[in-house]
Copies of this chain bind each other. A is one copy, B any other.
């Protein structure tokens, strides 16, 4: 698998998770920031390599081999992100781009030893589950802040958007993984949410609310 093929596999895996079904050429091109014709080319190549099934005009569906490889790349990405934060003083908004490079390093021993070195972490710095050596990982149900109820308390356990912009916004408002707060008010007009954390009140927009994963306290 080349670097490019791995990135496409990861993108297809991601889109399959979101939609629950096959992945359209346009959606894939959009996700990969490229043209539909390029996506078609790669889908055909990956179909040749038995990584997915492609029915022309009907989209692509990962094979077991393709899904397994995608999960391996995701495992590497999340382990490296964890390493960068835990050992190399990176902030959670600085790790993604470097992990995008590191996830393509080829060495089974490297990644398994890294896993051991980090003491087999279950979640990465953004709250995403880390697949183990066999590709298994936790999928606890997470709600977003848009789904939370007034006067109830929650803990932040993940982010849907892991862009540097969003993460820095959270930092500047003292919200991180593990942060607990109470939902004070949900504004019907613009779907903004007022929360109380550490005795401070804060209003967050809908764009923020829908990207915060919570667990009920």
Contact = CB atoms under 8 A, between A and B. Distances in A.
Contacts of A97: 107
Interface in A103-155: 105-107, 109-110, 113-114, 116-117
A169 interface: no
A101 B106 contact: yes
A113 B91 CA distance: 12
Interface stretch (A54-62, A70-78, A81-89): A81-89
Interface residues of A, number: 19
Contacts of A88: 109-110, 113-114, 117
Contacts of A113: 88-90
B89 A110 contact: no
Given A84-B110, A110-B84, A98 B105 contact: yes
Contacts of A109: 88, 90, 94
